Amino acid sequence: MRGEQGRAMADRLGPDSEEIDDTLPHSARIWNYWLGGKDHYDIDRQVGDEIARSNPGIVTTARAQRAFLCRAVRHLAGDVGIRQFLDVGTGLPTVDNTHEVAQRVAPEARIVYVDHDPLVLTHARALLTSTPEGVTHYIDADLREPDAILSGAAATLDFERPVALILLGVAAHITDESAYEVVARLLDALPSGSHLVFSDSAEVVNPEAVRAMVREWNRTSDNPRVNRSRDQIRRFFDGLDILEPGLVSVTRWRPEALPFGEPDEVDNVGGVARKP
């Protein structure tokens, strides 16, 4: 049976939206469930709970990654002065999406979202709107197609000016070594002063649980993923100047308040780096 939240989602999208199969789990909807969003069905919650039983820390990790995104975008828009953001593998809208965070600081900011999932793009077009001063645009493309991403983004972003490239939890879905070539191709097209915001799952705190989670994810999802070590993730930053505090658990990337010392680590590492 379709859940109440799913019905509300379909009502918002209207009769012209793509038909949604609520009998099969969907990776973007599962992630949305973990983030506390509303756009998921009973099957997504069931599978999300199964994965969480394999790795009880996954919900905390998912929300920590979203908080890292907010802090990184706020820093780049506010302290660095970046006004263009290319968010690849955006997933379903929840709260504090990239354009909302950036445009609170700089209403004129321009954001391009990229995803290859028609469901995600349908939701994005329906639910994500820009400030009058800025621009929010959406591209239907796969991370494995960097040239298509760059070509589509060029209609909105000026590649003569710095761009923040955001890749959160998406490179893990390219399960072989070509992931490094894809990210390098995207960065090569960006000018000096651009930044990479990157994070992905890593076996930091509870390796066995993370391995079990990935096995369960790959068993139930149509979008397989792979774990990479901290050193393997560091390779995505080759040739870039990594900002302090470096490549760390996403909870420890410039946390906003430390009343009780360093926050606990999670099995997700990330960093922000500048292209020289």
pLDDT in tens, 235-249: 999 999 999 999 999
Give the least confident one: 18-27, 46-55, 96-105, 214-223.
Answer: 18-27
CB 184 within 8 A of CB 150: no
Q: What are phi and psi of 137, to 5 degrees?
A: -135, 160
As a whole number of angstroms, the distance between CA 64 and CA 35 comes to 9
For every residue of 126-180, which 3-state class applies, written as one string? HHCCCCCCCEEEEEECCCCCHHHHHHHHCCCCCCCCCCEEEEECCHHHCCCCHHH
Q: How does 56-72 read in b/e, with b if 16+ C-beta sit within 10 Å?
A: ebbbbbbbbbbbbbbbb
* Residue-level pLDDT at 258: 64
Instruction: Say what the pLDDT of residue 260 is.
Output: 64
Residue of 149 and 217 predicted with greater confidence: 149
Cα Dmax for the chain: 53
Distance CA 232, CA 235 (A): 5
Higher pLDDT among residues 94 and 209, named by residue: 209
pLDDT digits 0-9 by tens, 129-163? 899 999 999 999 999 999 999 999 999 999 999 99
Residue 52 and residue 206: Cα distance in Å, rounded?
13
6 contacts: CB under 8 Å, gap ≥ 6:
20, 22, 39, 40, 41, 42
Radius of gyration of the chain (CA): 18
Predicted confidence band at 23 (pLDDT cuts at 50, 70, 90)? confident
Q: 127 falls in which pLDDT band (50, 70, 90)?
A: low
* pLDDT band (50, 70, 90) for residue 9: very low
pLDDT at 14 over 50: no
